Structure 1
Amino acid sequence: MSIRKKVLVSIGILSLGLTLFFYFLFLNIVLTNFDRIEENFVRNNIARAKATMQEQTRALDTITHDWASWDDTYDYIHNLNKEYEETNIVSDTFSSSAKIEFLLYFDLEGKLVHGSYYDAALDDLIPVPSQLLSQLAEKKELFHHPAANSHHTGLVMLADMPLMLSARPILRSNGEGPPAGTLIMMRVLTDQRIETIKSVTSLNFSVHHVNAPLPHPDSFEILDTLLKEPGKSIVKPIGPENIAGYTVLPDVFGHPLFLLRLDLTREIHIQGHRTLNYLLWTSIVTSLSFCLAFFLILDRLILKRLTRLNHDVIRISKTAQTASRVQVAGKDELASLSFSINEMLDSIDKSQQELKEKEIRLRTIAEFTRSGLFISQGPKLIYVNSVMELITGYNSEELFAMNWWDIFHADYRIALRTKIMESQKVGAPPEQYEVMIVKKDGTEAWLNLRIKHVTFKGNPASFGVCTDL
């Protein structure tokens, strides 16, 4: 693999590593913070829904206070005059003015003096259900008022009806007593009223009695937790797009009564993912841009010059033109390397010129000597002089093509070959033999043969001198 490819792969791995690093960094920081914001948002809306429910009971308590701290009511509890009933305890009071379903008057002993129940379907007042009165009578705290301004306000469950309740001591209009009894007003927490509260808050929530079957399977476990810690709220994602918040609404005495469930879309979580994707793509583009810029700078300053230097060296190596030189540009390490290569080429060129001159001189001597000269490697001859051609009768092409042992007479060939092979050691003194050869024309001749084992072009070789006896 070329250096350029290695650099590209390394930069690609670096870019991928940076992208993964930023992804997990953003995943840990961005989504965690967005989820924390989402959880706080849900908890705040749970508190808002709970506060709105409390505002409704406080509004009812304000009406109850106006009726309870009134001279007409104070006198009525003592004399039960019909004029008060005909003027105040009428359907319009329940449906339009106070918007209540129950109006109950009790004396100091907690006994019912008068009670009315407004049936919206009939648009008329009917007797209060006995079950409700018996359950209400059990709640003694409602009729106990240690101070003039004491009151009981909140939610209650009576006769299987969810109710908003307010109980006030009956006093004079100036707020002074002594108390003449207790006035209780109650509103039924109907689905319509809950929808009205939801429209006011723009929140989607539902209210369920803690002892009633719950519509969501996961609500049971959450309710168990909230019953142990009533003031707590729990936030639980329902999926990638929805989230729910839970809290317990206490009754008028502070005991858990209703489970409030708030359902919201996960806009913050979704926005967190959008932000994460934006940051991720930004980091990818930034990483790629940085890596590309780094590669282009590296390519311009180093890789292109290194590639050109490599091509120049390969060209010189393939053409064997030691007179050629590589390009030298700049004053850095690559320029110094190019200059050193040129110096090396100068030395090689000079050495080759000297070798050529020596070779010419040696060839001249070899051609004018009276002895036959040859060089062999294995069974092949790789050099012969002209005297060798005269001695054997073969030309150089024929000698190069044949097995040079075939020149020797068959009676001497094996013994000669064995001796030469046994003495084959580079640097050993020359061995001298008298042997018979068979020339090309078939005539026989005796030769004085001297063999010197040498290294030729990096491989073992034999240098021989033949003299015709």
Structure 2
Amino acid sequence: MTLRQKTLLIIAATLVGLIALLYVAFDATLIARFRALEEQNARVNVIRLLSTISSRLRDLEFQVRDAAQSDDLYRYMRDRKPAYLDNLLASSTFENNRLNLMALLDREGNIVASAGYDLARGKPVPLSATMLMGLENRRSLLIGPPEDPRGNAGLLILDDIPMLVVSSPIRNGSGQGQARGTLVWARYLDTRSIQSLSSFMQAPVSAALAGAEDLEPHYVTALQAMSPAVPVTTLIIDDETIAGYGLLSDLTGERSLIVRVTMPRSIYAQARETVSWFLLALVACGLVVTVVILILLDRLVLVRIARLTNAVRDRATGPAGVVSAPVNGSDELARLGMMVHTSLDALEKSKQELEKLNQELEQRVSERTAELERQNSFLETVLNSMNEGVIYGREDCIEYANQMMEELTGYRPDELIGEPQSILFGVTPPVERRRISAFHKNQSPAERWIQRGERKLRCKDGTVIEVAYAVTPLPGRQKDMRMLTIIRDVTEEKALQARRDRFLANASHELRTPLSNLITRLYLLRRQPEEFEQHLDVLDSVAMHMRSLIEDLLDVSRFRKGTLPLKRERLSLSALITEVVEVQRYEAQQKEQTLTLSLPDEPVYIFADRKRFVQIMTNLIVNAINYTPRGGKIDVTLAVEPAPGGSFAVVRVKDTGIGIAPENLEQIFQPFYRVSQETPGSGLGLSIVKEILDHHGGSIDVQSAPGEGSTFTVRIATLPPEIETAEKQASA
């Protein structure tokens, strides 16, 4: 693209941008204000319409009150003589008062007389049963409080017809005495009334029921925007029409009727026309200015630059030493031409020298690059073969990470590069600032130091592991100092050491207690030989407890080493659970606990070690008895649940005991862990249960909450049906 074309494009783009900016500014200010003005005008018209409806309702209210204080009407309600009624319901009454409905209610709200009138055709019409029923259903609204009937006035929807309804108590001509009933007058808001409102408003008026199922979309949108607190809104129907909407509530307070005043958008159209003429004039002026600017730029600048370009091209392709003045005059463009030609001569000389130097440098760079590639390949191989993670870079930016870092953290090396070390450590690893400063001052290998320690490292998936690290600073400027960090995962080592320490501490504690009791009883046996039998019973009990504890410890150790054989056989799980429950029922009765058992109708068979499964059920039920207070309840249930490829026997032991806090649920299957230290037991029972189930291919889980008891659920595969069927046929 030539300079002349670029200049034309820039000027045209500037003109278009200016016009667009002015259009947006006018639309946001002038047109927006005109739009707000027409919306305000629409609101005013709706408010006028609502005020007109209210005014007509007040006029009707004055008329019905005058008619209700009539001696003839009062005598009719008292004596019920038809002569009075014929005069009251005459067509002249409907015509003079522009009524569509009239009704007389007695004191209890029952309709004594009613009549309808079609003002458009000028003749009486019967009232529908639905409309009469609607009047009776709203008698309390029309009469008012029984002790002080005052009547009412407002909007009602009867038989899907909106109407202005006014009621007044019937009294004598002086307005005194007890009310004999209620006079109800109504004027329909039908097509004739709407046309009357349109003539008065000098604008199209329409109305729709708020609860109608076939409500037009514009009415639905307006209804959603209105409420009893904000009964007026406006909607732009199209570019030529705007409508104002008003909401009317009936006597029950429900939103019942929507009225609409439609007006042409003459104000908006005038504003758009004004803006269009202004923009057209602006475009015309802009085109004139653009043409003038282009002519001046072309003569004063572009033509001279084109001459200078041609001269420089000829000079570059022609013989050296020829200098001409390509641009006439003494201004900046002429001086630029002379300087360009002088520079071309100097560049020609420098070009030859640079070509020679480039050839020498390319040879050196090629040799050095090959050597660096060999060294980098060797170093990359060494780092990626390490069992430790390695990162290199500044504190705020990782520049290298080996493959082992991906195994440790889940981050690929390319994901770590460019990130701060805080993505792994949360905060920058500890670095001794004073020693770093001393290191940079001396810059001696003897001053190099390595910092070692342990800290937590956050992986990509959010897990946290324990790592040992060694940080070594490398030479460089202090603000750009790089550090080499070697990381090794020690999570498993620390967890294993913690489990060993806890196991040894708990085992020592559990063995020390009965051993101390044993020593005490031996001492007492020497001092009190006459109580030999009593001391001997205690010694037997302590010895049996220690034997049981040691057996449990051996079981835990054998299960974890996989050296304890299982004697599996076909077992009736139903019978086994029944046997264990009956054995433990006495212990539950001693604590006044209720121990219940629920079994399926058909026996459930599993393939398991009978002795170990008795141990599972005994430990679970004994735990429930120990951790359930006196008078509690323990439920043992057995069920069969289907599963892909077979089914599972599900045993649940539910108690109403002290429960387990959520933070302790993951620890209850650890050796020596106990929820309450006040409850007897070694803390090995649940650990042994889990190990036995793991070796059987089963599982155990627990649901519990403090104070709500616990439910332990055991799942183990049942014998396949074909095995049971084969065994039955063999026995037959």
Coarse TM-score class (shorter-chain normalised): 0.5 to 0.7
**Corresponding residue for 2:716?**
none
Residue by residue, what CA displacement relative to the aligned partner does 1:236-295 show, whole Å, maximum 9, x if unpaired? 333333344444321133211123344443333333322321232233244445556667
Residue by residue, what CA displacement relative to the aligned partner does 1:98-138 show, whole Å, maximum 9, x if unpaired? 11122222233323343333355885546654443332122
**Corresponding residue for 1:115?**
114
**Tell me, what secondary structure is at the counterpart of 1:109?**
coil
**Corresponding residue for 2:24?**
24
Over aligned residues, Cα RMSD in angstroms? 4.7
1:88-99 matches, within 5 Å, as 88-95=88-95, 97-99=96-98
**Tell me, what secondary structure is at the counterpart of 1:78?**
helix
**Tell me, what secondary structure is at the counterpart of 1:164?**
strand
Structure 1 residue 184, shift from structure 2 partner: 0.7
Counterpart of 1:198, as a letter, is S
Residue by residue, what CA displacement relative to the aligned partner does 1:347-395 show, whole Å, maximum 9, x if unpaired? xxxxxxxxxxxxxxxxxxxxxxxxxxxxxxxxxxxxxxxxxxxxxxxxx
- 8 Å contact from structure 1 (residues 131, 159) kept in 2: yes
Tell me whether 1:77 sits opposite 2:77 in the alignment: yes
* Inter-partner Cα distance in structure 2 for 1:262 and 1:274: 25
TM-score (norm 2): 0.38
* Inter-partner Cα distance in structure 1 for 2:262 and 2:50: 14
1:56-205 matches, within 5 Å, as 56-80=56-80, 84-95=84-95, 97-119=96-118, 123-125=122-124, 128-139=127-138, 140-144=140-144, 150-173=150-173, 176=176, 178-205=178-205
* Inter-partner Cα distance in structure 2 for 1:82 and 1:272: 67
- 8 Å contact from structure 1 (residues 156, 165) kept in 2: yes
1:6-405 matches, within 5 Å, as 10-80=10-80, 84-95=84-95, 97-119=96-118, 123-125=122-124, 128-139=127-138, 140-144=140-144, 150-173=150-173, 176=176, 178-214=178-214, 216-217=216-217, 219-220=219-220, 222-223=222-223, 225=224, 231-288=230-287
**Tell me, what secondary structure is at the counterpart of 2:61?**
helix
Q: CA 1:303–1:203 in structure 2 vs 1: closer, same or farther (change >3 Å)?
A: same
* Inter-partner Cα distance in structure 2 for 1:132 and 1:64: 20
User: Mind listing any 5+ residue stretches in structure 1 that lack a counterpart?
Assistant: 314-323, 329-333, 342-469
Counterpart of 2:47, as a letter, is A
Structure 1 residue 91, shift from structure 2 partner: 1.0
- 8 Å contact from structure 1 (residues 230, 248) kept in 2: no
**Tell me, what secondary structure is at the counterpart of 1:238?**
strand
Q: CA 1:68–1:292 in structure 2 vs 1: closer, same or farther (change >3 Å)?
A: farther
- 8 Å contact from structure 2 (residues 227, 247) kept in 1: no
- 8 Å contact from structure 2 (residues 226, 232) kept in 1: no
Q: CA 1:29–1:340 in structure 2 vs 1: closer, same or farther (change >3 Å)?
A: closer
- 8 Å contact from structure 2 (residues 164, 188) kept in 1: yes
Residue by residue, what CA displacement relative to the aligned partner does 1:388-422 show, whole Å, maximum 9, x if unpaired? xxxxxxxxxxxxxxxxxxxxxxxxxxxxxxxxxxx
**Corresponding residue for 1:465?**
none
**Corresponding residue for 1:406?**
none
Q: CA 1:289–1:179 in structure 2 vs 1: closer, same or farther (change >3 Å)?
A: farther
Q: CA 1:283–1:165 in structure 2 vs 1: closer, same or farther (change >3 Å)?
A: same
- 8 Å contact from structure 1 (residues 104, 184) kept in 2: yes
- 8 Å contact from structure 2 (residues 120, 192) kept in 1: no
Q: How many residues align?
A: 336
**Tell me, what secondary structure is at the counterpart of 1:45?**
helix
Q: CA 1:147–1:327 in structure 2 vs 1: closer, same or farther (change >3 Å)?
A: farther
Counterpart of 1:77, as a letter, is M
- 8 Å contact from structure 1 (residues 101, 117) kept in 2: yes
Counterpart of 1:42, as a letter, is A
Q: CA 1:112–1:286 in structure 2 vs 1: closer, same or farther (change >3 Å)?
A: same
Q: CA 1:208–1:126 in structure 2 vs 1: closer, same or farther (change >3 Å)?
A: closer
Residue by residue, what CA displacement relative to the aligned partner does 1:131-186 show, whole Å, maximum 9, x if unpaired? 43332122112101589895422221223433221112234556555444321101
Higher relative contact order (CA 8 A, sep 6+): 1
* Inter-partner Cα distance in structure 2 for 1:122 and 1:264: 31
Structure 1 residue 196, shift from structure 2 partner: 1.9
**Tell me, what secondary structure is at the counterpart of 2:12?**
helix
TM-score (norm 1): 0.56
* Inter-partner Cα distance in structure 1 for 2:216 and 2:149: 42
Counterpart of 2:267, as a letter, is I
* Inter-partner Cα distance in structure 1 for 2:147 and 2:268: 50
* Inter-partner Cα distance in structure 1 for 2:161 and 2:40: 33
Structure 1 residue 15, shift from structure 2 partner: 2.3
Residue by residue, what CA displacement relative to the aligned partner does 1:413-445 show, whole Å, maximum 9, x if unpaired? xxxxxxxxxxxxxxxxxxxxxxxxxxxxxxxxx
* Inter-partner Cα distance in structure 2 for 1:255 and 1:274: 44
**Tell me, what secondary structure is at the counterpart of 2:27?**
helix
**Tell me, what secondary structure is at the counterpart of 2:238?**
coil
* Inter-partner Cα distance in structure 1 for 2:51 and 2:336: 86
Q: CA 1:83–1:297 in structure 2 vs 1: closer, same or farther (change >3 Å)?
A: farther
* Inter-partner Cα distance in structure 2 for 1:10 and 1:131: 76
Residue by residue, what CA displacement relative to the aligned partner does 1:194-234 show, whole Å, maximum 9, x if unpaired? 222222212323222233332524544554x2576674444
* Inter-partner Cα distance in structure 2 for 1:168 and 1:194: 26
* Inter-partner Cα distance in structure 2 for 1:221 and 1:165: 28
* Inter-partner Cα distance in structure 1 for 2:149 and 2:291: 78
